[in-house]
Amino acid sequence: MRERVVAACDGASKGNPGPAGWAWVVSDDARTAARWEAGALGTATNNVAELTALERLLAATDPDTPLEVRMDSQYAMKAVTTWLPGWKRNGWKTAAGKPVANQELVVRIDELLEGRSVDFRYVPAHQADGDPLNDFADRAASQAARVQEAAGSALGSPQPPPSPDTPKAAAPRRKAPRRTGSASSASSSTSSSSRTIKAKFPGRCLCGRSYAAGESIAKNAQGWGHPECRTADA
């Protein structure tokens, strides 16, 4: 038995029902698409597209190789892992006695799962940092639904464009520059040196002129004096 293969599948319907498509992707490193395929379904529901994507993936992979399938569809995953055993016991009827929806697809998937080792893993859709394989399958299915054309690695198709439904990762916030101690000290010094007071006693400025008590004076490099002399000295 070969080493496990990691894959993802997804379906899309633009209107539900509306133009629909499916896609699957297989990876060698659990992150990067090694091969993929997408196709159109005409007008279909989202559930049909999701189940079709799973059916095509199972049909395209080796049944002897363990498979991990990543999906963002709760319906498709529960249909084949939780509800299917009960549907089979009830003759393909729901607990309410109604026919199982999309029965033909579910029966086909059940046949493809027979005797296989398949691990289903749910991954949320349209996340900025979400699962890269599921994101690839989502984009490929959406493109197939829009253009209604087949695509894939075997056809040499380019990778599907980004989905407008997936938010972009937030840009890292830049920190404001820290104010250094010297800048703070300089600001404090400037504030202190620019302060003026009323002289309590008469005195003489360094310019040689005297000043009277009560006159405005300012601190100079060599003592107290006229504010304009401090400015000239600075």
Whether 126 sits among the annotated catalytic residues: the reply is yes
Whether 72 sits among the annotated catalytic residues: the reply is yes
Whether 138 sits among the annotated catalytic residues: the reply is yes
Q: CA-to-CA distance for 68 and 6, rounded, in angstroms?
A: 5
User: Out of 55, 72, 131, 135, which one is annotated catalytic?
Assistant: 72
User: Out of 18, 68, 110, 126, which one is annotated catalytic?
Assistant: 126
How far, CA to CA in Å, does 121 sit from each of 47, 57, 72, 73, 132?
A: 18, 15, 9, 10, 14
Q: CA-to-CA distance for 55 and 24, rounded, in angstroms?
A: 10
User: Out of 21, 39, 50, 131, which one is annotated catalytic?
Assistant: 50
**Is the model's pTM score more than 0.85?**
no
Residue appearing with tokens 């060599």: 222
Task: Flag the least confident range among 71-75, 86-90, 94-98, 216-220.
Answer: 216-220
Beta bridge partners, 67, equal 5, 118
Task: For 94-134, write each residue's pLDDT tens digit.
Answer: 989 999 999 999 999 999 999 999 999 999 998 878 899 99
Q: CA-to-CA distance for 119 and 66, rounded, in angstroms?
A: 8
Three-state DSSP at 111 gives: helix
Whether 214 sits among the annotated catalytic residues: the reply is no
- Please name which of 75, 82, 22 lies closest in space to residue 52, comparing C-alpha atoms: 22
State residue 2's pLDDT score: 64
